[in-house]
C-alpha cells in the first residue's frame, strides 16, 4: 500500500510499456480492494491510465470508459454512454455498431486503430486524435459487452495489440471481477 493515494499515479520514467501496464493493473487491484462501485473504481482507473501513458511519453489525448446504457428506451438498439474519463469533454451516446467504440461493443473484439481517418464511421470527439485503442469489457456469463476502455493518441500508430491490447484485456477482466454495474 502506498503512503498516499496519489502515489499510485507515479510511474517510473524508464520502465517499459509492459512493466508500466503491469504496475497499473497492480495499482488498480490495490485501489479497488473492498470497493465495487463502478463509478468510483473506473474514475481512479481513468487517472491511472492517463498517468501511465503520460509517463511512457505517449501523446495521450483521452483515456476513459463508455458503459452500457441501461436507460435506453428502445431495448433493441443498444448504446454506450459516457463514463469516467480523463481529458477533454466527449460525445455521450454511441450506438452499438457505430464508430470504434460501438464496433468494439458489437463485435466484442479489441479495436487497434492506427489511423482513425481510415476507420469507417469513426466518431471524432476531438479532431486532433490520430489513433485509438478500444477494449471490450465483457460479461462472460451473458457473453455481453457491458462497457469499453477507450484510449486516444495524438500520434498515428499509438497502440499495439501485442502489448496494449494484451494488458488492457487483462484489465477489462479485472474490471468485471471488481465492479458492480
Ligand atoms: N472515437 C470514438 C468516440 C469516443 S472518443 O474518442 C472519446 C469512436 O469512434 O467510437
Cell of 150: 477507450
> What pLDDT, on the 0 to 100 scale, is given for residue 12?
81
3-state helix, strand, coil in the chain (%, to 5): 40, 25, 40
Report whether residue 53 contacts ligand 1, using a CB cutoff of 6 Å.
no
- Short-list 67, 64, 58, 28, CA closest to 171: 28
| Neighbour tally for 55: CB within 10 Å | 19
Residue 67 alpha carbon to ligand 1 centre in Å: 13
> What pLDDT, on the 0 to 100 scale, is given for residue 3?
76
Could you tell me which residues come within 8 angstroms of residue 8 by beta carbon, excluding any fewer than 6 positions away? 2, 27, 30, 31, 44, 48
Report whether residue 130 contacts ligand 1, using a CB cutoff of 6 Å.
no
Question: What are the distances in angstroms from CA 123 to CA 13, 19, 43, 107, 164?
Answer: 32, 31, 23, 17, 21
Residue 149, SS3 per DSSP? strand
Residue 4 alpha carbon to ligand 1 centre in Å: 33
Is the four-CA dihedral 163, 168, 173, 178 of positive or negative sign?
Answer: positive
Residue 132, SS3 per DSSP? strand
pLDDT along the chain (181 residues), means of 10: 82 90 96 96 98 96 96 80 98 97 97 96 92 97 95 98 98 97 94
> What pLDDT, on the 0 to 100 scale, is given for residue 63?
98
Containing 167, the helix (H) or strand (E) segment is helix 166-178
| Ligand 1 atom at shortest distance from the alpha carbon of 102 | 10
Amino acid at each position: 500500500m502506498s503512503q498516499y493515494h496519489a502515489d499510485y499515479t507515479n510511474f517510473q520514467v524508464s520502465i517499459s510499456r509492459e512493466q508500466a501496464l503491469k504496475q497499473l493493473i497492480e495499482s488498480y487491484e490495490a485501489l479497488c480492494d473492498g470497493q465495487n462501485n463502478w463509478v468510483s473504481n473506473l474514475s481512479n482507473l481513468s487517472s491511472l491510465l492517463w498517468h501511465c501513458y503520460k509517463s511512457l511519453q505517449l501523446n495521450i489525448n483521452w483515456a476513459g470508459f463508455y458503459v452500457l446504457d441501461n436507460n435506453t428506451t428502445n431495448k433493441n438498439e443498444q448504446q454506450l454512454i459516457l463514463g469516467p474519463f480523463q481529458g477533454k469533454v466527449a460525445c455521450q451516446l454511441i450506438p452499438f455498431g457505430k464508430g470504434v467504440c460501438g464496433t468494439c461493443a458489437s463485435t466484442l473484439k479489441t479495436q487497434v486503430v492506427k489511423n482513425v481517418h481510415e476507420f469507417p464511421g469513426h466518431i471524432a470527439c476531438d479532431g486532433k486524435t490520430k489513433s485509438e485503442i478500444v477494449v471490450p469489457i465483457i460479461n462472460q456469463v451473458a457473453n455481453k459487452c457491458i462497457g469499453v476502455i477507450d484510449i486516444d493518441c495524438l500520434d498515428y500508430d499509438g497502440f499495439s495489440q501485442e502489448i496494449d491490447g494484451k494488458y488492457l484485456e487483462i484489465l477489462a477482466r479485472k474490471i468485471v471481477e471488481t465492479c458492480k454495474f
